Amino acid sequence: MTASRREVLIASVMATATAGLSAAAVASTQHPTAPSTGARKVNLITSKDGTQIYYKDWGRGPVVTFSHGWPLNADAWDGQMQFLVQQGFRVIAHDRRGHGRSEQASSNNDMNGYADDLAAVIETLDLKNITMVGHSTGGGEVVRYIGRHGTKRVSKVVLIAAVPPIMLKTPANPEGLPLEVFDGLRKAVFNDRSQFYKDLALQFYGANRPGARVSQGTLDQFWLWSMQAGLKNAYDCIKAFSETDFSEDLKKIDVPALVLHGEDDQIVPVHDSARKSAKLIKNAQEIYYPGAPHGVTATHQDQVNADLLAFLRG
């Protein structure tokens, strides 16, 4: 006897459900759940507070890690990473939490949080004998990493246009920038971050200087990267990079260090950053580029690459 329409429908639904359960069961046996802390999927690593951190890992050889500036992401290092891969190095760069392809966490958007995220990348990938390179805010991230986690996995340090020791004007740092400057940054980011980033790019690369040769593509690229940062994360990061005092962290650097800075840096003035940091780091090597801006890794890419390679091999 022909089955009723209702019976056929019930049989069909049951068969589909059973097939789905079977497939799920097979999948669970083939891909067991990974532990939450330190686990990684594709190019994501889970930091200790559960935040997903994106990273890229190119090449083979001695390891160099890169920490980027605000409000950019790991792509800002492509000119250095591609060069070093061709020279036989393994290069790794991550997007700071809330920036680029990393998760936009609502908490721990401070230097301790950034340093611990960097530690999660290093420990999950089990990196050793690393040369750590940091630009701008990323320089602070590297220095705070050493302050919190030491140098047992680190062989060298490079600080490029980095924010340490401290950017904010205080009684102990009278040459710093007034709090009103950073309040202005916060207001601009909150009210119209898109236009603010377009304006900031001019100072970042020194395109506002007479005779500057900075392509529109470079300026557009800065805006594109910046707009990938979460509003809250970019806003919170201003306090992190401006008010954190790295003086004691700098004193803990006990490996060879290179301090490199442009002398016409309009974002992180050289006299209150690199020159002071070099005095706090034992036997730091110093290189200063006359007339160079904050975004020196792009405007002076070949020169930075050459100096970086010489330090790595030296």
- The residues assigned a catalytic role are 136, 265, 294
List CB contacts of 213: < 8 A, sequence separation 6 or more.
none
Q: Which of 237, 218, 190, 187 is nearest to 68 (CA)?
A: 237
Distance CA 48, CA 74 (A): 21
Distance CA 88, CA 98 (A): 31
Point out which residues pair with 170 in neighbouring strands.
173
Are 92 and 127 contacting, i.e. CB atoms less than 8 angstroms apart? yes
145's tokens: 């990493």
Q: Which SS3 state, helix, strand or coil, does residue 285 take?
A: strand
| Amino acid at the residue 153 | R
User: Cβ contacts of residue 200 below 8 Å, gap of 6+?
Assistant: 222, 226
CB atoms inside a 10 Å sphere around CB 144:
25
Cis ω for the linkage preceding 71 (within 30 of 0): yes
Q: Is residue 31 classed as helix, strand or coil in its secondary structure?
A: coil
The secondary structure element, H or E, covering residue 64 is strand 63-67
Report which of 173, 155, 297 is spatially closest to residue 246, judged by C-alpha positions. 173
For residues 25 and 23, give the distance between their C-alpha atoms in angstroms, rounded to a whole number.
Answer: 5
Give residue 53's identity as a one-letter amino acid code.
I
The answer to whether 81 touches 57, Cβ cutoff 8 Å, is no
